Structure 1
Amino acid sequence: MGKEKGKVVVLEERVPKLKEQRRQRANRLLVAYIALFFMLLLGVVYAQSPLSNVAVIHVEGNHHIASQQIIQLSGITKQTSFWKVKKDEVEQRVKQHPEVKDVSVKKRIPNRIDIVIVERTRIAYILDKHSFLPILDNGKVLTYAKQVIPSDAPILVGWKEGEAIQDMAAQLANTPNSILNLISEIHYTPNASDERHITVYMNDGIEVSATIDRFAKKIVHYPSIVSQLQPGVKGVLHLEMSAYFKPYKADEGDDKDDENER
């Protein structure tokens, strides 16, 4: 009997403690629910307020395309809700620009959008009267012109729109940039024996006689061939079939210098 009374006393003592623990647990749950409710309420208010709008639109990787052009194509403004920006849709809109090869959009909390551009390479320019039309690495000729003489790619002179220029663009697209940087001008000079003949003027004063076909494979050997020539000697490097160099005659060299000065 003594043991049973002892157990009853212990249980009676524990009942208030259990009730207090349950009450505290219920209070904590209530506080958690209230906090969650207010967080959701604040989230809704934030999403509907100007605070959730895009604050910064950052464009990088572009060299020829103006950042403002990219932003306009993206359709994003500072009145656009950050949470409503769909990256896939923005990327598709920006890719409509002919000079954009690839694009990725990144959303940075709380309200910054990064648009990272990969531009198509300008492999050459076509001389059109007094303007220069860029040719991209996919062979597309842009209709908007550059007024100043470009220095980032060769200039095509005497070319008309057609198959020949597309084939030349394909050759240049397969030519390393290190070689393209050595070329000043490429003239379309068909003759009786080769209707696809070209004359290439290099920045170092050497003239290259070649043909459109296999130009990319042949011109890559230019640095090694020129390194074997006597310093200061100018002339014509023939790359039509087998490669050989023919120096200018004294009077011919003078004529070439006069022509270059003009």
Structure 2
Amino acid sequence: MSKKNIVSIEDRIPKLKQARKKKANRRLIFYLSIFFFLISIIVYLQSPLSNIKTIQVHGNTHVSNESIIEQSGLTMDTNIWMLNQKHTEDLLTKNPIIESVEVSRKLPWTVDIKVNEYKIVGYTKEETNYFPILGNGVMINQLGQSSFNGKSPLILGFTEEEYLHKMAEELNELPSTISALISEIHWQPTDENKNKILLYMNDGYLVDATIRDFSDKMEVYPSIVAQLDPKSKGIIHLGVGVYFESFEKRPASDEEEIDRIEEDNTTE
């Protein structure tokens, strides 16, 4: 065996010591890096650097950005990592105008609030002002106006809040293409049927119906009208059975009742 291939233990020991030292140094640097990284995270979480800097609100029409932010309880002092999204959503949905809401983080410092409000299903008239009614039956008193666009029906005569809410919920389920055909909805309760309503349609027909299952029954209205003679106006009954009754064949007492309602509308 050649002497060149023989390495004494004395020659190898310094090299082994040096390799172990380098390995120990690398391990120390690794642990120190993790330590300082964790310290940096703790400092960041405890400092104003992690506070919310921007709150974005989307989808709201009836409720202002300021009101939504105030109701959410979020401020610029709120730590973005301490944000309880479910709790904030629960706070906002206590507002009767808000149907649903989604709260999310947009790192590094932004909170996004996406609001879904109840849609306006109609208007009611008090004195000379019109007030919008939402799909949950809530009337927005702060949005009174002297006129309305006519895209949603007038909801009149509902003196009991329970039935107004039921009517609004049914209208909320009704497609907008059909609700746009309705001019007025009058509540006409009887001892036998407190859900009874009479609709004035924009095409000249009347609809005798009930609040119960109104949205389902009203969806057939366009197909019914399509089968009628446009020159013959009358009342479309949407009760247990669906049938058309021409004004020309109605008893005088019923015609007087319709005339009375129309006269009341004129004098409002």
Q: Structure 1 length normalisation: TM-score?
A: 0.77
Aligned with residue 27 of structure 1, among 25, 28, 35? 25
Is the aligned partner of 1:154 residue 2:145? Answer: no
CA–CA distance in structure 1, aligned partners of residues 245 and 229 of structure 2:
11
**Cα distance 1:195–1:69, how it changes in 2: closer, same or farther (>3 A)?**
closer
**Cα distance 1:38–1:115, how it changes in 2: closer, same or farther (>3 A)?**
same
Aligned with residue 55 of structure 1, among 40, 53, 56? 53
**Cα distance 1:127–1:185, how it changes in 2: closer, same or farther (>3 A)?**
same
Corresponding residue number in structure 2 for 1:80: 78
5+ residue gaps, structure 1, are: none
**Cα distance 1:159–1:48, how it changes in 2: closer, same or farther (>3 A)?**
same
CA–CA distance in structure 2, aligned partners of residues 110 and 163 of structure 1:
47
5+ residue gaps, structure 2, are: 250-254
Corresponding residue number in structure 2 for 1:17: 15
**Cα distance 1:72–1:28, how it changes in 2: closer, same or farther (>3 A)?**
same
Corresponding residue number in structure 2 for 1:216: 215
Is the aligned partner of 1:113 residue 2:111? Answer: yes
Moved more, 62-71 or 239-248: 239-248
Deviation of 1:177 (Å): 3.4
Contact 2:232 2:246 in 1 (8 A): no
Aligned with residue 87 of structure 2, among 77, 86, 89? 89
CA–CA distance in structure 1, aligned partners of residues 132 and 42 of structure 2:
49
**Cα distance 1:33–1:175, how it changes in 2: closer, same or farther (>3 A)?**
same
**Cα distance 1:122–1:7, how it changes in 2: closer, same or farther (>3 A)?**
same
**Cα distance 1:204–1:12, how it changes in 2: closer, same or farther (>3 A)?**
farther
CA–CA distance in structure 1, aligned partners of residues 142 and 14 of structure 2:
88
Is the aligned partner of 1:144 residue 2:171? Answer: no
Q: Structure 2 length normalisation: TM-score?
A: 0.76
Corresponding residue number in structure 2 for 1:200: 199
Deviation of 1:110 (Å): 0.9
Corresponding residue number in structure 1 for 2:252: none
Contact 2:132 2:144 in 1 (8 A): no
Deviation of 1:120 (Å): 2.9
CA–CA distance in structure 1, aligned partners of residues 220 and 189 of structure 2:
23
Q: CA RMSD in A?
A: 3.5
Deviation of 1:84 (Å): 2.1
